[in-house]
Amino acid sequence: MKVLFKILCFLIFLAPVISNAQEKVTFYSIDSLEITADLYEIDKNYPYIILFHQVGGSRGEYNVLAKRLVKLGYNCLAVDLRNGEESNFVKNETAEKAKEKKVPCGLEDTQNDILAAIDYIFYKNYREVILFGSSFSASLCLKTAKGNPKIKAVVAFSPGEFFLPDTEIKYEIKGLKKPVFVASSVKEYPYMLELFVNVSSEYKTIFKPMKGEGAYGTKSLTDECDSSDEYWLELLMFFRKLK
């Protein structure tokens, strides 16, 4: 049965990505900053994954990835955080507005945007959401998830200690009791084991590829990474356990 499921997963993900309905939406952070996001919605009753980009990026990081995740029966929201520039030729509109308004836009300030995105999505169908982050946003997703009843699980690609000395993620996530999928390259793996030492093995899945070195952040899910099929398969298995 497990083998059949794996084969089915690959058939699904090898198929061409068909354009799903994509809508640009806006909502407001607690400090009144307008946040821009792309909404991929197939059925409002389906669960939602909220996608956050890596350092210097934008919602464009998920142009292709969101359409693949939608195939799994999830709606997706790809968010422009207030700190970033561009991904896949998509400019970060929230960051541009933050500069215009001269609001704080450091890496850790983006947590306000993450919280706003959670509220925006949660009140659509009152179902727990899944947070999906890359690099610094993965760390903030983990921090935000602890003790937050609106969050079901976290997918964290290449999280790390981006906020020292003010905030140490290793201790912020101590006692986290939500399912977490952590993706790392082979090089990052020992660091991830240490970063998550305070999270019970009952809740965490820390993955490194067996084929190749892997890649940093969500690049590991793209054709640029020789191990992308391994990352996708492990991620699919994680989502399967959540349903």
What pLDDT does 12 receive?
55
Angle among Cα 164, 168, 174 to the nearest 5 degrees reads 175
pLDDT at 114: 99
Q: Tokens at residue 38, please?
A: 């792309």
Residue in 49, 65, 134, 59 with CA at minimum distance from that of residue 96 = 59
The pLDDT of 46-65, averaged and rounded, is 98
Cis omega (within 30 of 0) for bond into 209: no
Residue 149 has pLDDT above 60, yes or no: yes
More confident residue, 108 or 12: 108
- What's the pLDDT score for residue 240? 94
pLDDT > 70 in the chain, percent: 92
User: What integer pLDDT is reported at residue 20 of this predicted model?
Assistant: 58
Contact (Cβ atoms closer than 8 angstroms) between residue 197 and residue 160: no
Mean pLDDT of 5-9: 52
Q: Is 90 exceeded by the pLDDT of residue 17?
A: no
Entry pTM: 0.92
User: For position 6, what pLDDT does the model report?
Assistant: 55
Query: Does position 243 have pLDDT exceeding 90, yes or no?
Result: no
All domains of the chain in start order, with CATH:
2-242 (3.40.50.1820)
pLDDT at 1 over 90: no
Backbone angles phi, psi at 129, to 5 degrees: -105, 160
Average pLDDT, integer, range 69-76: 95
Per-residue burial over 97-126, b = 16 or more CB atoms within 10 Å of its CB, e = otherwise: bbeeeeeebebbbbbbbbbbbbebbbeeee
Q: What is the pLDDT of residue 176?
A: 97
Beta bridge partners of 151: 129
Close Cβ partners of 194 (under 8 Å, ≥ 6 residues apart)? 170
